[in-house]
């Protein structure tokens, strides 16, 4: 917040910051998980200039590709819940027959369709998070970020 304090005239100098130092952002966040996105939006709404960085998007993430939304959205909670939910229907349909349901057609499971549903949901949520950041005025950088110095 040193940049904002200096610009707003709230301080003539900030301890630990050399006079004449230029900052591109008040806050720069590495990682767009729920905490990073929340902090970025919150501070941006209070007038801070915020940048955030995340690995380039891919619905199947790794150490070099990821996406806005973090581990939960891209490879944790959301994909797991979709896969578990989709897998549970087979047993439910079989049990339904014991409770008066008559299923006239043979029910088949399509693994590719379930995986596509998972990918579509990850893409949808990634887009929502990107729009939330953009609408809050947060500058998103896709790439790798690290602290140096």
Domain annotation covers residue 30: yes
Domain that holds residue 72: 2-142
Q: What is the pTM of this model?
A: 0.79
List phi, psi (to 5°) of 123: -60, -45
Domain annotation covers residue 147: no
Domain annotation covers residue 59: yes
**Which regions in the chain score pLDDT beneath 70?**
1-17
CATH number at residue 110: 3.50.50.60
Are the beta carbons of 49 and 4 closer than 8 angstroms? yes
Domain annotation covers residue 148: no
List phi, psi (to 5°) of 75: -140, 15
pLDDT in tens, 71-91: 888 889 999 999 999 988 888
Q: What's the alpha-carbon Rg for the chain, to the nearest Å? A: 23
Domain count, the chain: 1
């Amino acid at each position: 917040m040193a940049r904002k304090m200096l610009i707003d005239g709230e301080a003539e100098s900030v301890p630990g910051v050399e006079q004449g130092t230029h900052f591109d952002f008040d806050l720069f966040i590495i990682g767009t998980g729920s905490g990073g996105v929340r902090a970025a939006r919150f501070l941006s709404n209070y007038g801070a200039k915020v940048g955030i960085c995340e690995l380039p998007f891919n619905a199947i993430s790794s150490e070099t590709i990821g996406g806005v939304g973090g581990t939960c959205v891209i490879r944790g909670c959301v994909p797991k819940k979709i896969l578990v939910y989709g897998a549970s229907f087979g047993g439910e349909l079989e049990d339904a027959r014991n409770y008066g349901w008559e299923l006239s057609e043979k029910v088949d499971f399509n693994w590719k369709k379930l995986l596509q549903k998972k990918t579509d949901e990850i893409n949808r949520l990634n887009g929502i998070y990107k729009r939330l950041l953009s609408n809050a005025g947060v500058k998103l950088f896709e790439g790798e970020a690290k602290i140096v110095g």
